[in-house]
Amino acid sequence: MRVLAFFAHPDDETLMAGGTLALLARAGHEVFVLAATRGEGGERGDPPLCEPEELGAVRSAELACAVRALAARGPFFLGYRDPDIGPNGELFPFAADDDAVARRLLPWLRQVRPHLLLTHGSRGEYGHPAHVQVHRVARAALAALPPAQRPAWYTPLAYVPDVPLEGLFNPEPAHWVVSLGPALEAKVQAALCHRTQHDLFRRAGQVRLGQPVSVEAFIAAVPLETWRRADTDAEPADGPLGRALGPAARRV
């Protein structure tokens, strides 16, 4: 199968989907990683690893490193600039017009012709407006394709009751729980590529685990990923993501 993973910023592909992408690649599927922005407006590390105007290039290189670690193709970029974080930590969508973004996404869908499309979920995981925008744009772009050309669409961090990911869920229940197994190490290596975001990862890890943690421990603490079929509620027991992943994916 061909898989298009479309996320807002460099590092989303790893944090939300890295293990699944690595498993898909190992199973022989072609995995394309497409980012809406180069993460130009994000954090630069503490102490900063680069100047503000260098951040887009630095994070593009970090994403290239992560894509190699996951054995995926790319990275590819939709060409939007990531807005700077506001003075009180406000986050913003990357484009004023969803339809214009959908028109930029459509050629990727038509040329890659993915069987699976993986994007942000309905709540943008933790409410990030750029993530929610990607979700809306995916819905609009799929609606513009003839039904026979529409990939099966899945969103990550789908809700399951027994996984410790406080504050990081989309509200819809999961259809699939993916055990990362040996792909967890690829996800750790991909996370290590995103050096400008390590301080952010360690802060998130401290919140999640209640103590100071390394980047490796933050990622390794959750050895699974969850997915929701987003283009239909009727995901069969042998749905496309499960067929692509084999025994690593459990229908819930």
Which range in 9-17, 40-48, 69-77, 194-202 contacts Zn ion by CB under 5 A?
A: 9-17
**8 contributes a contact to Zn ion by CB under 5 A:** yes
The two three-digit tokens of residue 131, written as one number: 């993530």
Which range in 4-12, 79-87, 196-204, 219-227 contacts Zn ion by CB under 5 A?
A: 4-12
| Residues 6+ away with beta carbon under 8 Å from 161 | none
| Residues 6+ away with beta carbon under 8 Å from 163 | 222, 224, 226
Q: Which of 9/123 has CB closer to Zn ion?
A: 9
CB 98 within 8 A of CB 25: no
Identify the burial level of 111 via C-beta atoms within 10 angstroms of its C-beta, where 0-12 means exposed, 13-18 middle and 19 or more buried.
exposed
Which range in 2-10, 49-57, 94-102, 150-158 contacts Zn ion by CB under 5 A?
A: 2-10
Which range in 10-18, 86-94, 154-162, 202-210 contacts Zn ion by CB under 5 A?
A: 10-18
58 vs 64: CA distance, rounded Å: 10
**9 contributes a contact to Zn ion by CB under 5 A:** yes
Q: Which of 125/235 has CB closer to Zn ion?
A: 125
Smallest gap from residue 12 Cβ to Zn ion (A):
4
Torsion of CA 147, 152, 155, 160, to 10 degrees: 120
Name which of residues 11 to 50 contact Zn ion (CB under 5 A): 12
Smallest gap from residue 128 Cβ to Zn ion (A):
6
**158 contributes a contact to Zn ion by CB under 5 A:** no
**194 contributes a contact to Zn ion by CB under 5 A:** no
CB 92 within 8 A of CB 217: no
Q: Which of 12/62 has CB closer to Zn ion?
A: 12
SS3 178: strand
Residues in contact with Zn ion, total (CB under 5 A)? 3
H or E segment and range at residue 66 = helix 55-69
Which range in 5-13, 19-27, 138-146, 147-155 contacts Zn ion by CB under 5 A?
A: 5-13
Smallest gap from residue 14 Cβ to Zn ion (A):
11
CB 207 within 8 A of CB 221: no
Smallest gap from residue 9 Cβ to Zn ion (A):
4
- Closest CB to Zn ion: residue number: 9
Within 63-130, strands assigned E span 73-80, 116-119
Q: Residue holding tokens 């050895």?
A: 223
CB 118 within 8 A of CB 109: no
Smallest gap from residue 124 Cβ to Zn ion (A):
8
SS3 190: helix
Q: Which of 8/25 has CB closer to Zn ion?
A: 8
Smallest gap from residue 97 Cβ to Zn ion (A):
20
Question: Where does this chain bind Zn ion (CB under 5 A)?
Answer: 8-9, 12
